[in-house]
Amino acid sequence: MGRASMKKESHDIAGEEILHSPILTKLGEIAAHFVGINLVAVFPRKDRWAELRLGNVTGRQAFCRMVQSTHEGEKQCRMCHAFMSVAASRDGMAIRRCHAGLSTVVAPVSQLSETGLAVLSTCMFTSGDRIAGWKEVSKSAGKLGIKPKALRGAFDAVPEIPRDKLELAQALIMAATAAVAEIKIRRQLEERLVAMEGAQKPALHRQSIMMEELKSGFVETQRRKVLHNRQTHNPKCPALVEVVAKLVAHKPNLPYTVASISAAAHITPNHFSALFHRWMGQSFLAFLNAKRIEASKELLNDLALSVGEVAQRVGYDAANYFARRFKKATGMTPRKWRNQH
């Protein structure tokens, strides 16, 4: 494993430790007790997206458990949560509709980051129209290989959130994302202080340095946010295309399909394909392969990885197929490219 991989792995572990902090545990328990929903942190790992329920609460809702009981259902849920999280990094907190037809509240830890670290709620009703909601859910059930009759009881048990509780849920999620951001900043500052000042500095002096760093850090965060919005936001490009492109660029190894993306976005595959081609100038598959080949070049520099391992890390199950795609894109095999670079 190369140095970059080791560094990323340790970052993932540190991120999960942050999510186990007491304040996040308490916020998750408050949401479960007073609103009837669970809070879930969604974050990227090296090879997949991971989820962690906040608080010492009971298991998943029966509805979510049944939807995720099939391979297709679990895959769709993870893909849906990943898209929501990356979209939140772009648009901020919002109420979004999941692939199964219900609603969820999602908010990013930081809108400056495109990594997709976010907190979202488990499924809920916000409109109160269960008849219309069931029609949509029953259609999704058939596509996921679940009998609608078996899902109906779990659907009826999904909590209907009135306006006052919805506002409380939003406040709790915003508090959770703020807590994660603050804990991350404090941890980074502590590491910097230890490295720069050494462990022998008086505690009071270290605390004053930390407060100054915090102030300057928050000012810099606001400055970068304004600059980010001015320079990178493209009001003409549809949000769906922008979110998908960012997600693929950041995590090209995920098992993307036009069908799964379309289901998460509630549009037809043909509509998504046409929309993506129009704004990106190439098909989604061509864009995906280009990003995977781009990522593979960096991994090929790590001589500890075999070509087969590189293929798997960028999303190709078969090394032979990866080699063909790589040669078509670069004019040489992965091994030859590695030897010449």
Tokens of 274: 């046409």
> Which of 111, 83, 87, 118 has the alpha carbon at shortest distance from 228?
111
Residue 319 has φ and ψ, to the nearest 5°, of -65, -35
Helix (H) or strand (E) holding 288: helix 284-300
- Provide the number of structural domains found in the chain: 3
Domain boundary among 148, 180, 212: 180
Q: Poorest-confidence range of 153-162, 201-210, 306-315, 317-326?
A: 201-210
Does the pLDDT value for residue 76 go beyond 80?
yes
Q: Are residues 263 and 197 in the same domain?
A: no
Ordered DSSP codes for 7-26: HHHHHHHHHHHHHT-HHHHH
Q: Are residues 117 and 248 in the same domain?
A: no
The amino acid present at 246, given as its one-letter code, is K
Q: Are residues 187 and 247 in the same domain?
A: no
- Within 10 angstroms of residue 229's Cβ, the number of other Cβ atoms is 11
Q: Are residues 13 and 143 in the same domain?
A: yes
Q: Are residues 228 and 274 in the same domain?
A: no
Q: Poorest-confidence range of 29-33, 84-88, 186-190, 275-279?
A: 186-190
Q: Residue 38 belongs to a domain with what CATH number?
A: 3.30.450
CA distance 264 to 262: 5
pLDDT confidence of residue 113:
57
Q: Are residues 75 and 155 in the same domain?
A: yes
CA distance 244 to 259: 13
Looking at the whole model, is its pTM more than 0.85? no
CA distance 286 to 225: 31
**Top-confidence range, 49-53, 133-137, 199-203, 218-222:** 49-53
pLDDT greater at residue 11 or residue 81: 81
Mean of per-residue pLDDT scores for the chain: 79
pLDDT greater at residue 309 or residue 206: 309
Q: What are the CA-CA distances from residue 36 to residues 30, 125, 156, 166, 251 (Å)?
A: 9, 11, 14, 10, 33
Does the pLDDT value for residue 277 go beyond 70?
yes
CA distance 282 to 142: 32
Does the pLDDT value for residue 328 go beyond 90?
yes
Domain boundary among 136, 163, 180: 180
Per-residue pLDDT tens digits for 127-143: 666 777 788 788 878 77
Q: Are residues 223 and 78 in the same domain?
A: no
Q: Which residues contact 265 (CB under 8 A, 6 or more apart)?
A: 83, 240, 272
Q: Are residues 208 and 297 in the same domain?
A: no
Tokens of 24: 């996040």
Kindly provide the residue ranges of all beta strands, DSSP E only, lying in the chain, ordered along the sequence: 39-44, 49-54, 94-97, 103-108, 118-121
**Top-confidence range, 46-50, 151-155, 175-179:** 175-179
Q: Are residues 169 and 205 in the same domain?
A: no
pLDDT confidence of residue 210:
40
Q: Are residues 163 and 106 in the same domain?
A: yes
- Within 10 angstroms of residue 225's Cβ, the number of other Cβ atoms is 13
Helix axes 258-265, 269-280, angle to 10 degrees: 100
CA distance 264 to 267: 8
Residues 322, 310: contact at Cβ < 8 Å?
yes
Q: Are residues 245 and 186 in the same domain?
A: no
Tokens of 199: 């462990």
Q: Are residues 223 and 250 in the same domain?
A: no
Q: Residue 314 belongs to a domain with what CATH number?
A: 1.10.10.60
**Overall average pLDDT of the 189-205 stretch:** 57
Residue 152's domain comprises 3-180
